[in-house]
Amino acid sequence: MAVSNQRKGRIIFHIDMNCFYASVEMAYNPSLKGKPIAIAGNPEERRGVIVTSSYEARAKGVKTTMNIWQAKKLCPDLIVMKPNFDRYRAASRELFRILSEITPYVQPVSIDEGYMDVTDVHQSNNALELAHVLQQKILMELDLPCSIGIAPNKFLAKMGSDMKKPLGITVLRKRELNKTLWPLSVSQMYGVGEKTADKLNALGIETIGDLAKSDTYQLKQVFGINGERLKNRANGIDLRPVDPDAIYDFKSIGNSQTLPEDTIDIDQINKLMTQLADNVERRMKRKNVAGKSVQLMIRYHNRKTITRSKKLQSYIDKKEEILIIAQDLFHRHWTEEPIRLLGITVQDVEEKQNIGKQLDLFTYEDDASKETLFSTIDKLTEKYGENPFIRIQGIDTNNDQPRTSFQKDFLDDFKK
């Protein structure tokens, strides 16, 4: 496996594009620069959700996941645009091309961010100068702003890139953490979500410095092994290498989508679940994998979220198989309250080339199981109307809605 040098004195960059979707739109159409713009799944729907926005919009209070009507109330002149994923993919490919010209040790982590290990790069004896050159190159060639964190490891580099936006460059050194990192609220620490922050606060841990000095045993009692990991991060300890091959590592493939409005309409729900299963199948085909577990996520109108899953006896990769299980989970666990978001994920994923072929004597069982599957489909069709597992015709799955999988799908492009 090609990984970055693990010796002491590593120099890691974290590149984080600023307001990426909005910035790409402004690069494509310069007349949008300086204006408050937002990218949303359904601009024509008042309840469409904001995916990202420009800094001009953010200055007016516009935030990600906010409904369009709320954003418009805060910023009446907000320009709301549909996402153009082909455009974002193209920009991302160019970004990582530029990074890869500097070093082979580039690890993309999403469409708009990635790590670089520049320890062995000739110019790295002046990392700050290299970062400035790189930032300007991305700005000049792509007309896209980015922030860069410079540190001896991935965690600190990630924290650094978040500190100055847009077009910021931040150096975090271990010997200066008591001044640069420790005074920050623990909620600002990468890897600490709202619930974890609340638990840490309940232990009297308010700042990252408090976490760095906290009792390891107490942390492990509350958070398990992750408690010790959090303390290590707070002390600037992170031994993970920059690994270009990490883009091949995945254990699940999922897709989720917010509905245009909260609903209990079973036809609309079936239509969305069919679309989600179709998207999951498409991504599994691209990666040539199959999985042995299906998980369903339901987020209700009040944002309460549940996940339910089912482990399987054999691997599956077809949308009909994925959907029949997701439908079963749905009808067993739905409370009939209005739904805001649905997600389907296939877990325990393995590349098909690594899945052992079953003995021929038993392959007939696979065909037999299909009879049960389609029998169940017929029963659900009788109960809920037109077969919900037939591909919905006429739906444009490319540009209508932003989906969580898009952030990961671009990695397939990067591997080609």
Q: Which residues are annotated as a binding site for Mg(2+)?
A: 16, 112
Respond yes or no: is residue 113 known to be catalytic: yes
DSSP states of 244-310 = GGGGG--SEEEEEEEEEEEE--HHHHHHHHHHHHHHHHHHHHHHTEEEEEEEEEEEETT--EEEEEE
- List Cβ neighbours of 173 (8 Å cut-off, separation of 6 or more): 151, 152, 180
Residue 300: which residues within 8 A CB-CB, separation 6 or more? 262, 335, 337, 338, 339, 340
How far is the C-alpha of 112 from the C-alpha of 96, rounded, in Å? 9
Measured CA to CA, the distance from residue 242 to residue 246 in angstroms comes to 9
Our measurement of the distance from residue 103's CA atom to the centroid of its chain's CA atoms, rounded to an integer in Å, reads 25
Annotated binding residues: 16, 112
Gyration radius (Cα) of the chain, Å: 23
H helix runs in 146-243, sequence order: 154-161, 177-180, 194-202, 208-212, 216-223, 225-234
Sheet of 37-40, strands arranged across: 50-53, 37-40, 79-81
3-state secondary structure of 353: helix
Q: By the 8 A CB rule, do 398 and 86 touch?
A: yes
Nearest by Cα to 309 from 289, 328, 337, 288: 328
Which letter does DSSP use for residue 235 in this model?
Answer: T
Question: Which of 113, 337, 350, 382 is flagged as catalytic?
Answer: 113
By annotation, the residues acting in catalysis are: 113
